[in-house]
Structure 1
Amino acid sequence: MSSFSMAPVTSVVKKLLIINVVIWVVVQIILDRAFGFHQWRYLILTPELVIEKFYVWQLFTYQFFHAISPFHLLFNMLMLYFFGSELERRWGSKFFSFYYLMSGAGAAIIYCIGVGIYAAVTGFRPVLMTPVLGASGALFGLLLAYGIIFADREIYFMGFFPLKAKYFVMLAGAMDLMSLMGTGFAGGEVAYLAHLGGIASGFIILRGHVQYKNYQAKSKLKRKSSNLRLVVDNDKAEKDNNPKYWN
């Protein structure tokens, strides 16, 4: 049984860490607090603006902003480092970048759909105007991938209790689901639906990637089969009644 280990930081993970920290320090702390620059708030996820005004860029940009409390940023960046570095090394930078951003965007889409339906059914529109920010959706996508690829790795839950990665993912998802059911869409300060959306988006992306790779392999095999040629040495065949084949 292998255990969770500290992995050297990889290229894309390092860039993501730097970008998130710089945005938090320069934009959210210095420019906002010192100079009153509030325009950055159009870059965080506000379901009403996405649904009614098509601010679709927010599906991606919200991932790089965090709460003013440094603990939100710190916890998310630790998750990015712990799980992201090994996944990037496994997948390569290109697919890792795609998976990370699309898991976050997928989480935002699922969140907007969920709160949109909730607002339409209950008539409670303030939930549409509540902003969401942070990398958690993308990080829960990474957590799912880690639990699938490194299923038997041990992760210490709360720093003390060893769990296999696959069970850690199940526990994290179950806790978020129970928290969502307990607080509802309109309660609490954590967007639990976005976390669950990151898990769902990650699963869809991984399934789609596997099916695409299988399709590529089948197409390659089919093309290779269509190029096979039958060659018969008729003169020799007449002698030994045993034609030879090459491809």
Structure 2
Amino acid sequence: MVLSSSATPGQTLPSHFTLLMMQRRHRGSNLGLILLASQIFQIGLDNIPPVTLATLGVNVYLFLFPAAPLLSACVSVQTAYWHRDWRRLILSPFHHVDDWHLYFNMASLLWKGIKLERRLGGAWFAYLLSVFSLLTGSMYLLLEAVLTEVTGDGSYSMQCAVGFSGVLFGLKVVNNYYHPGGVTHVMGFLVSNRYACWVELVLIHIMSPGTSFVGHLAGILVGLLYTAGPLKKVMKTCADFVTSSRPSHVYYNSSGPSGRYNPHYYPSSDGQPHTGPYPQPLYQHPYTAGMSDAEQYDAAVRASLNDRGGRQTYGFRVASDPNLEEIRQRRLQRFATER
């Protein structure tokens, strides 16, 4: 995230000078866009999972065709809370100051997104990005409000931030959670992955004072809420409620670029993909539910073959039940006699 310069407590708007200078950089040579395109083609579009690619595309599109000027997209306590302009929580993560700001954030998204989307599956990763985008901005507002209250300095409430890097810090925490161990290079230093986000938080702020320390810290705290706090459980509960209200239990494998249907693939309640047969009982389908006589007969034959050979058909399995088995045998005998 990048901050505008703060205003004095008597001002009603943040100082415009820094953001106006950044907007001029936005109209430059766009070398960052060229480098980003080169990196994408080096990786290969087929090797970038769909949700990661779509998120990258949205960021690039909004850089070229902003939904709002930077001064109307950045988020601060003053603009979002005092003036009740809550749409900034949605706009701010997806707008960038210049092409280099966009390049570094999207290059980081490519690396993290490829690893996490393949681990979690496309649906859960999209869910994670949506929640993190909103919560990072909300956490940023909370931290800035607390700093204003503790220090008595109203300028904290007027610091306006944009960019995807806060979300990326949260994703880094999640990535380290799912891929523990190892070390990473942080500006020439070898650092354990467990502490890399904290080292980056400090070093980036020291080397680039214009970046938002509070915005990056907000991302780390949201990531910790997911890995060590209640956020993942809350997300699972909400996801279970939504999926339980659907009539179908068919899931799609979004871990690869094609996103094709795989009848032996399903996400768990924590978003991690699993392969193999569905846990039983998963889906009960009474034969009389809208089926013709011929369809009931075919379904009974398929279920009987499943029981004998342990094979699954069409991605669902009828729960074994003594009464259901008895009904099935009677139907088989009746249809065999009629035919």
Return the TM-score normalized by structure 2. Answer: 0.51
Residue of structure 2 in register with 1:139 after alignment: 168
Whole-Å separation in 1 of the counterparts to 2:182 and 2:235 = 27
Whole-Å separation in 1 of the counterparts to 2:176 and 2:189 = 16
Residue of structure 1 in register with 2:156 after alignment: 127
Whole-Å separation in 2 of the counterparts to 1:178 and 1:121 = 25
Using the TM superposition, give the Cα deviation of residue 136 of structure 1 relative to its aligned residue in structure 2, in angstroms: 0.8
The answer to whether the Cα contact below 8 Å between 1:13 and 1:80 also exists between their aligned partners in 2 is: yes
Given candidates 26, 42, 52, the residue that maps to 1:13 is 52
Relative distance call for 1:78 and 1:178 in structure 2 (3 A) is closer
Residue of structure 1 in register with 2:89 after alignment: 59
Whole-Å separation in 2 of the counterparts to 1:199 and 1:63 = 15
Whole-Å separation in 2 of the counterparts to 1:102 and 1:213 = 12
The answer to whether the Cα contact below 8 Å between 1:107 and 1:196 also exists between their aligned partners in 2 is: no
Using the TM superposition, give the Cα deviation of residue 13 of structure 1 relative to its aligned residue in structure 2, in angstroms: 0.8
Between 46-55 and 201-210, the greater mean CA deviation after superposition? 201-210
Question: RMSD value over aligned CA atoms?
Answer: 3.7
Using the TM superposition, give the Cα deviation of residue 76 of structure 1 relative to its aligned residue in structure 2, in angstroms: 0.5
Whole-Å separation in 1 of the counterparts to 2:165 and 2:236 = 28
Percent of matched pairs sharing the same residue: 20
Where do 5+ consecutive residues of structure 2 fail to align?
Answer: 1-42, 241-267, 269-278, 283-320, 322-339
Residue of structure 1 in register with 2:223 after alignment: 202
Relative distance call for 1:161 and 1:113 in structure 2 (3 A) is closer
The structure number with the bigger radius of gyration is 2
Using the TM superposition, give the Cα deviation of residue 177 of structure 1 relative to its aligned residue in structure 2, in angstroms: 4.9
Relative distance call for 1:191 and 1:100 in structure 2 (3 A) is same
Using the TM superposition, give the Cα deviation of residue 26 of structure 1 relative to its aligned residue in structure 2, in angstroms: 2.6
Whole-Å separation in 1 of the counterparts to 2:185 and 2:152 = 43
Given candidates 116, 121, 131, the residue that maps to 1:87 is 116
Given candidates 181, 184, 187, the residue that maps to 1:152 is 181
Equivalent AA in structure 2 for residue 63 of structure 1: P
Residue of structure 1 in register with 2:74 after alignment: 44
The answer to whether the Cα contact below 8 Å between 2:186 and 2:199 also exists between their aligned partners in 1 is: no
Whole-Å separation in 1 of the counterparts to 2:105 and 2:235 = 31
Relative distance call for 1:161 and 1:189 in structure 2 (3 A) is closer
Equivalent AA in structure 2 for residue 209 of structure 1: K
Return the TM-score normalized by structure 1. Answer: 0.67
Structure with greater proportional helix content: 1
Deviations 1:91-122, CA, capped at 9 Å, x for gaps: 11221112123223222222211211222333
Using the TM superposition, give the Cα deviation of residue 157 of structure 1 relative to its aligned residue in structure 2, in angstroms: 3.7
